[in-house]
Copies of this chain bind each other. A is one copy, B any other.
Amino acid sequence: MRDIRLLTQMFIPGQLIGPFAQANPGLGAVCTFVGEVRGEAYVEALELTHYEPLTLAGMHDLADRALGRFNLMGLLMVHRIGVLVAGEPIVCVSAAAAHRRDAIDAVDFCMDHLKSAAWFWKRERRSDGWHWIEPRAQDHTDLKRWD
């Protein structure tokens, strides 16, 4: 089962993951990553903007690469856009496979590429207004692991 989505509203990861795992009968391993808006005292809200003509296509392209690289039975990749507050999930990636190595590595691969290569820009609202979040060096290091 392949389920790739951009969501504009708050979602509850468990409500996606339960049906996803059930939709892949015979699996041996499911690895799931959920990224949430961190509760930093100075951050009032986080806004994710994207460039629609590229984003979903980019997520499907990434899913194709993950499905080609790892031996998967299913892949779920969901990303929020819009304004989020602390504790809200931003991203959920879940991979179902016969064996754990494929499930874990596929989630790791998708997260490294989603965060560093997908077309999302984030800004956070602090008491003095909106601030764009810069790319992080760590993300580039993470990406190099897969070359």
Interface residues of A, Cβ cutoff 8 Å to B? 14, 17-18, 21, 25-39, 86-87, 98, 100-101, 103-104, 107-108, 111, 115, 138, 142
Contact = CB atoms under 8 A, between A and B. Distances in A.
Q: Enumerate the 7 nearest inter-chain pairs by beta-carbon distance, A residue then B residue, closest first.
A: A26-B39, A28-B38, A30-B34, A32-B32, A14-B14, A31-B33, A14-B18
Contact of A38 (B21, B27, B37, B115): B27
A110 B107 CA distance: 16
Contact of A104 (B33, B39, B98, B138): B33
Given A25-B87, A104-B104, 19 more contacts: A25-B39, A26-B38, A26-B39, A27-B38, A28-B35, A28-B37, A29-B33, A29-B34, A29-B35, A31-B31, A31-B32, A31-B34, A32-B34, A33-B100, A33-B104, A100-B115, A101-B142, A104-B107, A108-B108
